[in-house]
Amino acid sequence: MSRERLYRSQAIVLRRQDYGEADRILTLYTREHGKVNAIAKGVRRITSRKSGHVELFTQGQLLLAKGRSLDVLTQADTIEPFAALREDLVRTTYAYHVAELVDRLTEEGSPSPAVFDLLAGAMTALCEAEDPSLVARYFELRLLGLSGYRPQLFSCVVCGEALGEAGNAFSPEAGGAACPRHASQLGDAIALDASAFRVLRFLQTRDWVMASRIDLKPSTRGALERVMHAYLRHLLERDLHATGFLRSLRSAIPHITEDPRS
């Protein structure tokens, strides 16, 4: 195999799909090359040495060869397995949500080390955080900013004046919050109570160390989810798959810490 075709990169497995009798197609987000689709040949065989290193959500050091339509995985070593994400159904679902969002909001051939670091940090936080929904909201806001879709939360999307904390509403179509005077002009506006609005702005402007200290009330947690899911639905023109699964989980597992009305 030509050395010119080979490249090494840190990568996190976003998605995988069985192919043929023993192969698997992987969607990876790499630190140096952005999103990459690759084929892992023979990885589903019991004797494969690579299979354990390319589990879903695993962060690894990979050696790949450039191909015409798919790159080819030739070597893999685990850096961080994020095992806790596969041991808890709720955390697994949030990890799917995070991975799917990266997959949908990024293009192949557009590397962003900042996105990779954000993704790796989110996977770490999802393994540890008491409230995985807070991790998801922080990740969504930060990824939207890196992707060019940063919601406007400090000035009205209609008049441009600085926003107070009370009486505002969020418009997915307008891409941000509107003041009480102009919120009624936006047909898709979602009312935001002061608590939810403060948390949104805090998550958008603070690092995770500070954001992780927030203790959300169930009503605030539900309000944040409704706003962010509505904005993502507008941008992506459909719900993420994990969103529907989370709703199903709430019906089956009453103690999940989210507002079941969302």
CATH code of the domain in which 143 resides: 1.20.1440.120
Q: Are residues 9 and 133 in the same domain?
A: no
Last residue in a domain, options 39, 63, 81:
81
pTM value is 0.92
Quick one: 150 exposed, middle or buried, by C-beta within 10 A (0-12, 13-18, 19+)? middle
Q: Are residues 100 and 223 in the same domain?
A: yes
Which neighbouring-strand residues pair with 35? 29, 108
Residue indicated by tokens 């702005």: 201
Tell me the residue range of the domain where 34 lies: 3-81
Instruction: Calculate what percentage of the chain has a pLDDT beyond 90.
Output: 84
Collapsed DSSP state (helix, strand, coil) of residue 179: coil
When pLDDT is cut at 50, 70 and 90, the band that residue 241 belongs to is: confident
b/e burial code for range 129-139 (CB count within 10 A of at least 16 → b): beebbbbbbbb
Q: How many domains does the chain have?
A: 2
Query: Does any domain span residue 260?
Result: no
pLDDT at 248 exceeding the cut of 90? no
pLDDT at 259 exceeding the cut of 50? no
What is the mean pLDDT of the segment spanning 146-159? 98
Measured CA to CA in angstroms, residue 235 lies from 124, 174, 176, 217 at distances of 26, 11, 12, 27
